[in-house]
Structure 1
Amino acid sequence: MFIIVFESTTPASKAAVGGQYYTQMQALLRSQPGFISETPFASPIHPDQAVLIAKWETEAGVHVWRTQHEHLRIQYKARRSVFAGYRLRVGPELASLLGGTGR
């Protein structure tokens, strides 16, 4: 399993537009081969900060998602007009790296 962790900072003034992009991205994401699930988290202390964890069956599925045309279009718009900051991390499930089963 591969995990994508997306951390973002979205100013309150851009939250509505960010929500629209997120809705568009969700529809695309759920239709991607190899996609398992996503879980968004919002910070109760810093409401402009959020983390989203997406799970994928394989690294190849992540690569297809990363190069999907509509995903790239929405990503470009959001980076330019919504996020004050973001960070993306991609990798295999931590438990598998430590020799566990991840269950």
Structure 2
Amino acid sequence: MKAGYYAVIFTSKRTPADESGYSEMAQHMNDLAARQPGFIGVEHARESIGITVSYWESLQSISDWKTQTEHLLAQQKGRASWYEAYHIRICKVEREYEFHKTGTGTPGLR
């Protein structure tokens, strides 16, 4: 992908309670985001904190995703039940590069 796109970095700390429905909602949000105009991809990691980085073509496509009806409902549920805290950063990707061992590929990386 050519530089000049945007990354939304969502870091979160989960509550210890109410796991019910979280995985299903997360998968639904991934599927829904993938159908949004301007969506490029997503990467996830979870240890003591969660990190999700989604990639978008423009600030407008990020804004449209932020106000998507089902996404708004998921945000409300997250604040009410699943997240103790979260932090969102929106960054413009100015440059990128990568490394792959010969013949191994990198499943899970864009």
Q: TM-score, normalised by structure 1?
A: 0.80
Q: Shift of the alpha carbon at 1:39? A: 0.3
The one-letter code matched in structure 2 to 1:85 is A
Q: Work out the percentage of aligned pairs sharing the same amino acid.
A: 25
Q: In the alignment, what sits opposite 1:68?
A: 68
- The 1-side partners of 2:6 and 2:23 are apart by 25
Q: Give runs of aligned pairs for residues 32-51 of structure 1, distance below 5 A.
A: 32-43=36-47, 46=48, 49-51=49-51
**Mean CA deviation greater in 11-20 or 31-40:** 11-20
- The 1-side partners of 2:36 and 2:50 are apart by 23
Q: In the alignment, what sits opposite 2:108?
A: none
- The 1-side partners of 2:66 and 2:83 are apart by 18
1:18 aligns to 2:22 (yes or no): yes
Structure 1, unpaired ranges of 5+: none
- The 1-side partners of 2:55 and 2:35 are apart by 14
Indicate the structure (1 or 2) with the bigger Cα radius of gyration: 2
- The 2-side partners of 1:79 and 1:20 are apart by 16
Q: In the alignment, what sits opposite 1:27?
A: 31
- The 2-side partners of 1:10 and 1:17 are apart by 13
Would you say the 8 A contact 1:21–1:78 is kept in 2?
A: no
- The 2-side partners of 1:78 and 1:87 are apart by 13
The one-letter code matched in structure 1 to 2:9 is V
**Segments of 4+ moved more than 6 angstroms:** none
**Mean CA deviation greater in 12-21 or 69-78:** 12-21
RMSD: 1.4
The one-letter code matched in structure 2 to 1:82 is W
Structure 2, unpaired ranges of 5+: 98-110
Q: TM-score, normalised by structure 2?
A: 0.76
1:102 aligns to 2:106 (yes or no): no
Would you say the 8 A contact 2:10–2:53 is kept in 1?
A: yes
